[in-house]
Chains A and B, each alone.
Chain A
Amino acid sequence: QSVLTQTPSVSAAPGQKVTISCSGTSSNIGNDFVSWYQQLPGTAPKLLIYDNNKRPSGIPDRFSGSKSGTSATLGITGLQTGDEADYYCGAWDSSLSSVVFGGGTKLTVL
């Protein structure tokens, strides 16, 4: 059972927009920045969003992040088949003194 809660799967057509949600508590999302990671099939995860809504160099602006209270959202616009992946949210949990992840959301681009 993951500390952060994510919907297991989402799907959308190419070119469309999708949102992926992540829910936590006042000890993690409510108290610190949220990050998002993309894991393409058979590869290592990659940092997609940090500090709730910032993109590392090289990440296209089709990817965006937001946070409100104890929930966060990853948005992806102009969906491409290459975006099919598992997406994980992450945060620092001050009660556990550890990094926590969501269970992951599998994105299917139909």
Chain B
Amino acid sequence: EVQLLESGGGLVQPGGSLRLSCTASGFTFSIYAMSWVRQAPGKGLEWVSGISGGGGNIYYADSVKGRFTISRDNSKNTLYLQMDRLGAEDTALYFCAKAPSWAARAVYPIGDWGQGTLVTASS
């Protein structure tokens, strides 16, 4: 069974940093492209970033480019999102997501989702 467990969320002051982690199990992590998707309170989905299985291909939404860094450690089955210079507009539930089994190498479409970790940027 695929499991994606996010952690690292919390309250941070505007301008601060936070690192999210996503621990994966139930599948061969190194094969699959992974993404982070966020959802502000009461709002819709916003894709944040994606990374290929080997880490060689990385993509960002314009809204986070230059502030967020996605990475992965395949030896630990873990996906990361380093978030710097956080602002109130980054307050959201952050979901870890994986590619579906029939399109493992592609960032899109998104197959399985974790339950999310909440990030709040506020003073």
Contact = CB atoms under 8 A, between A and B. Distances in A.
**Do the two chains bind?**
yes
Contact of A92 (B44, B45, B108, B116): B108
29 contacts: A2-B44, A37-B110, A39-B45, A44-B114, A44-B116, A45-B37, A45-B45, A45-B95, A45-B110, A45-B113, A46-B113, A47-B100, A51-B109, A86-B44, A88-B45, A90-B45, A90-B47, A90-B110, A97-B59, A98-B47, A98-B50, A98-B59, A98-B62, A99-B35, A99-B47, A99-B108, A101-B45, A102-B44, A103-B44
B73 interface: no
Given A44-B114, A90-B47, 9 more contacts: A35-B109, A45-B113, A47-B100, A91-B108, A97-B59, A98-B60, A99-B50, A99-B107, A101-B45
A109 interface: no
B47 A100 contact: yes
Interface in B50-91: 50, 59-62
Contacts of A37: 45, 110
Interface in A81-95: 86, 88, 90-92
Contacts of A102: 44
Interface of A: 2, 32-33, 35, 37, 39, 43-47, 50-51, 56, 86, 88, 90-92, 96-104
Nearest to B115: A44
Contacts, number: 68
Contacts of B95: 44-45
Interface string B84-123: 0000000000010000100100011111111110000000
B13 to A, nearest CB: 28
A51 B102 CA distance: 11
A98 B61 contact: yes
Nearest to B107: A99
